[in-house]
Structure 1
Amino acid sequence: MIYDLKKRISIVIPAYNEEKNISFLIEQLGETLSNTNYEYEVIFVDDGSRDNTLNEIKFNAAMHSNVYYVELSKNFGKDHALKAGIGLAKGDAVITMDADMQHPPEMILTMLRFWEDDYDIVYTYRKNANPHAKKYQKATSKMFYKGINMLSDIQLENGTADFRLMDAKVVKQLKAIDEYEIFLRGIIKWTGFKQIGLPYTPSKRHTGEVSYSFFNLVKLAVSSIMAFSARPLYVVTGIGLFVSALAILYIPYVLISYFAGYAVSGWASIMATIAFFGGLQLLVLGIIGVYVGKIFMQSKHRPNYIIRSTNFVAVNNDLIRI
């Protein structure tokens, strides 16, 4: 296949406490792409790392003319870090991937082939459960995708990753999206375009440990589901109607017991009923409260991220390469 020499690829990599992976990843990307006819740039986004990650990125940026860095003012989260890098990418295609080497760089060549075959989005998903993950991580990941597919308006393959290629026209649409809580895996699926998914087996982390905790995964799941659907409101409405129907069916029993003269008031049954309905009301109010909270935060129009430093320069209020 003959490639257009003018095509440029932007690789966006969010990094949080990945100091020992930066140089190795750049080396692997070089080995993968050096024999192709593509020009490529690597944009690292330091998401408030607490170790020496930023200095490692700056060192490599000084050594390699195609390596750039963006330092965020604090830890804004992986999706916001990706949004920051995507916002600065100028390539004909943009590839996003993790910094821990679990996303095999050699798969980029396969992505590029599908892109050349006119696919706008080439995304990846784990073919099987991550062989390097712990048991609870595998279980929570599976529940995460089942919950999203059941309660939201999008469908994601189990193990859908942030390792993907997007054409420039897709990136243009992503840059225009302004949401306070952004879930890129869902938004990219929602955009449509011509997409194809590639199965892959995650590699072992080069160094370090997974930073996502169980609590963070639950928070991400709740936020992602509510970002794409009002279905949870319909679900609790259905539960409320079901419980109300049961309560109506209970009325004949109460009347018969009263007129038959054997109605006995019981503390346990009363308390159980109060606790049940009280819990149901709190559940409904909690879900409504989350939606109202999201509206409140979105209405503030705060930026998704704040850039503290970068080796891009500002010209006419726009960041460009130096």
Structure 2
Amino acid sequence: MLETEKKLSVVMPAYNEGEHIYENLHIVSEILSGFIKDYEIVAVNDGSTDNTRAEIFRCAKSDAHIRLVSYKKNRGKGNAIKCGVEKTSGDYIAFLDSDLDLPAEQLKEYVIALIQDKADVVIASKMHKDSKIEYPVVRKVISFGYYCMLRVLFHLKVKDTQTGLKVFKAEALKSIIPLIKTQGFAYDIEILVALNCRGYRIMEMPVELVFRRGKGMGRIGIKDIITVFRDTLIIFYRGRIQKVY
């Protein structure tokens, strides 16, 4: 058990995860209860067309640590994350994908690193030398290409911005979350660019990842990739030209 009286909020965005979300939320809650006294899970139903909302609601009734945030129209992962963050009450805020491709057990080490290394943000990096990943080759190639693009545009000193496991000090994240406009998958880079512009310290950690959505791109299609690159250029314009962050 961590020696801290501070609260951890875990934001879990979910879109059409009805088959597994009930079980996964209970798994995460059990893991959190094993290392931190005060915590909450903010599960965000991003306009799912299946029974995701009902399953989160059912889970919340059986576990007071779980909270439901929901809206009817699918607006993208970035919007779900932003809505979830706005509803959190913790001193630390974590992002965790609801499919649990990224095992929730890793959260403990990330929170410890945030506290002990006095970082403002700790993010998972698939490119860390100690990471253990089972990941389709096509996604590795795209991830590396995107990393190169981000280095050129933003000069960020991180190798992987897109892995869905991150832990923040709440005061850092909430200081920039009103500025975040990206609703899709590029939300990560906008958050990190905004934090970097304000001088917050970002630390990378190794990650264990098991890709559960087949051998190809999973739910991410060509249209999504094009949108990510478009949104990244918009973030560049907002950050470097308009000086929004």
Q: Is the 8 A contact 1:22 1:57 kept in 2?
A: yes
* Distance change >3 Å, CA 178–CA 82, structure 1 → 2: closer
- 1:65 corresponds to which residue? 64
| Map 1:1-322 → 2, pairs under 5 A | 3-4=3-4, 6-117=5-116, 118-127=118-127, 130-133=133-136, 135-154=137-156, 156-158=158-160, 160-177=162-179, 179=181, 183-190=186-193, 191-192=195-196, 193-205=200-212, 210-229=218-237
* Distance change >3 Å, CA 150–CA 129, structure 1 → 2: farther
What's the TM-score once normalised by structure 1's chain length? 0.64
Structure 2 residues not aligned, in runs of 5+: none
CA distance in structure 2 between the partners assigned to 1:106 and 1:129 by the alignment? 14
SS in 1 for 2:124: strand
SS in 2 for 1:161: coil
CA distance in structure 2 between the partners assigned to 1:99 and 1:230 by the alignment? 30
Q: Is the 8 A contact 1:126 1:160 kept in 2?
A: no
Greater helix fraction, Structure 1 or Structure 2 = 1
Between the two proteins, the alignment pairs up a number of residues equal to 232
CA distance in structure 2 between the partners assigned to 1:113 and 1:36 by the alignment? 10
Q: Give the CA RMSD over aligned residues.
A: 3.0
Q: Is the 8 A contact 2:121 2:169 kept in 1?
A: yes
**CA offset at residue 138 of structure 1?**
3.0
CA distance in structure 1 between the partners assigned to 2:239 and 2:90 by the alignment? 37
**CA offset at residue 71 of structure 1?**
1.1
CA distance in structure 1 between the partners assigned to 2:143 and 2:29 by the alignment? 32
CA distance in structure 1 between the partners assigned to 2:153 and 2:110 by the alignment? 30
SS in 1 for 2:206: strand
**CA offset at residue 170 of structure 1?**
1.0
SS in 2 for 1:166: strand
**Code of the aligned partner of 1:222:** R
CA distance in structure 1 between the partners assigned to 2:20 and 2:178 by the alignment? 32
What's the TM-score once normalised by structure 2's chain length? 0.82
SS in 2 for 1:70: strand
**Code of the aligned partner of 1:81:** A
* Distance change >3 Å, CA 159–CA 228, structure 1 → 2: closer
Q: Is the 8 A contact 2:78 2:182 kept in 1?
A: no
**CA offset at residue 153 of structure 1?**
4.9
Q: Deviation per CA, 1:1-49, whole angstroms, max 9, x where unpaired?
A: 8612x31111001101111221232232133222224311111111111
Question: Which stretches of structure 1, 4 residues or more, deviate above 6 A after TM superposition?
Answer: 230-233
CA distance in structure 2 between the partners assigned to 1:177 and 1:169 by the alignment? 14
SS in 2 for 1:126: coil
Asked which structure has the greater CA Rg, the reply is: 1
Q: Is the 8 A contact 2:24 2:98 kept in 1?
A: yes
**Equivalent pairs: percent with the same residue?**
22
* Distance change >3 Å, CA 98–CA 104, structure 1 → 2: same
